[in-house]
Amino acid sequence: MKIGMMSFAHMHAYSYADSLKKLQHVELVGIFDDDVARGKEVAKQYQTTHYISQEDFLALDMDAVIICSENVRHKEMVRNAAKAGKHILCEKPIATNLEDAQEMIDVCEHHGVILQIAFPVRFSAPIIRLKELIDRGELGEIIAFRTTNRGQNPGGWFIEQEQSGGGAVLDHTVHMVDIMRWYLGREVTEVNAIVDSYFHGVDIDDAGILTLEFENGVIASHDASWSRFSEYPTWGDVTVEVIGSKQTVKVDAFQEHFRLFTSGSKSLTNVFYGNDMDFGLIQDFVNCIEEQRQPSISGKDGLKALQVALAAYQSSKTKTKVKL
């Protein structure tokens, strides 16, 4: 299978490229990046060809592309790749507004190509294990969720509203909304949120607290932030606590680590040894193409997660609950 990558603006691109190189039957045939210096450097790193023209890149004989551009460019690249007949894995969030997200879904359906959204947390071993417990009924009836996704400020285009579409709340809400929807099989119907910039003095939000209600009455809280400072021993956390009528279970997707002490400005580091979520995501995408099946994480999943994140901004701005 031949796969290309569109932009290395998002840091996850490097992990996805590493994952492609681990698959013996997959070839990374080229990289499009209009940041010429970055594109040339990355192409050298992964021993492939850099293209500055999207048209030339999409004319390549390849099966699929992975898009890791700035959020605002997702629609443009998905549309062009779909028209070229390439299957697509697009970094989250799917888009910066719901209209663009729906257009991306529609154009992929029209051209008969897969659109999968990059929610790698679904491929975390502890997260999967909890899903199995829920599906077997071991937690009983689900009553509530408590989730967190607290990391470091990525800087760069992430804190530029016109490029990202939103700050920490957009960046860190879509992951956990996707997990809760996956666990419950139900949609969020109400969002109440407080969103602001608390930690970094930037013009974009770096934290938010959300409370959600699902269509079956399940309630949830979500803590999304860029609250971890650079010397923190790990990048952040991804936790979900499921409160059931029989038992309560809490998991942290990054909990599998050992503590490494060294001399220097960052004396303590948590070194992760658990399963590679990003590799699981890439492997699943490749399998979807090979098996000609619907993606595990669809464009609709991306749209529904985006809808909740955008509702959080609306709720905070209007100081009211937002009905979906």
pLDDT tens per residue across span 132-165 = 999 999 999 999 999 999 999 999 999 999 999 9
Q: Domain 125-277+305-323 - what CATH class? A: alpha beta
Average pLDDT over residues 211-230: 96
Predicted pLDDT of residue 236:
83
Average pLDDT over residues 85-108: 98
Q: Please, which pLDDT band fits residue 257 given cuts at 50, 70 and 90?
A: low
Average pLDDT over residues 77-93: 98
Give the burial string for 290-301 (b: 16+ CB within 10 Å, else e): eeeeebbbbbeb
The 10s digit of each residue's pLDDT in 166-207 is 999 999 999 999 999 999 999 999 999 999 999 999 999 999
Predicted pLDDT of residue 176:
98
Average pLDDT over residues 271-277: 72
Which one-letter amino acid corresponds to residue 260? L
Look at residue 19 and tell me whether its pLDDT is greater than 70. yes
Percentage with pLDDT > 70 across the chain: 97
Predicted pLDDT of residue 272:
61
Average pLDDT over residues 245-274: 77
Q: Please, which pLDDT band fits residue 235 given cuts at 50, 70 and 90?
A: confident
Cα–Cα distance list, 66 to 238, 252, 287, 323 (Å) = 23, 27, 14, 34
Q: E strands within the chain?
A: 2-6, 27-32, 50-51, 64-67, 87-91, 115-118, 142-152, 188-196, 207-214, 219-228, 237-244, 248-252, 257-261, 268-272, 322-323
Q: Please, which pLDDT band fits residue 234 given cuts at 50, 70 and 90?
A: confident
Distance in angstroms (rounded) separating the CA atoms of residues 72 and 51: 21
Q: Which residues contact 215 (CB under 8 A, 6 or more apart)?
A: 186, 187, 188, 189
- Token reading at 165: 């579409």
Residue ranges of the domains in the chain?
Answer: 2-113, 125-277+305-323
Distance in angstroms (rounded) separating the CA atoms of residues 121 and 253: 7
CB 269 within 8 A of CB 88: no
Predicted pLDDT of residue 71:
98
CB atoms within 10 A of CB 181: 17
Which listed CATH number (3.40.50.170, 3.40.50.720, 3.40.50.1820, 3.60.21.10) goes with 2-113? 3.40.50.720
Q: Please, which pLDDT band fits residue 266 given cuts at 50, 70 and 90?
A: confident
Predicted pLDDT of residue 158:
98
Q: Which of 79, 113, 119, 117 is nearest to 99 (CA)?
A: 79
Look at residue 273 and tell me whether its pLDDT is greater than 90. no
Q: For the chain, what is the mean pLDDT?
A: 95
Predicted pLDDT of residue 271:
66
Looking only at the bridges linking them, the beta strands covering 207-214 and 219-228 are: antiparallel
Predicted pLDDT of residue 254:
77
Q: State the pTM of this model.
A: 0.95
Q: Which range (35-39, 40-44, 275-279) has the least confidence?
A: 275-279
Look at residue 238 and tell me whether its pLDDT is greater than 70. yes
Percentage with pLDDT > 90 across the chain: 90
Q: Please, which pLDDT band fits residue 222 given cuts at 50, 70 and 90?
A: very high
CB atoms within 10 A of CB 260: 12
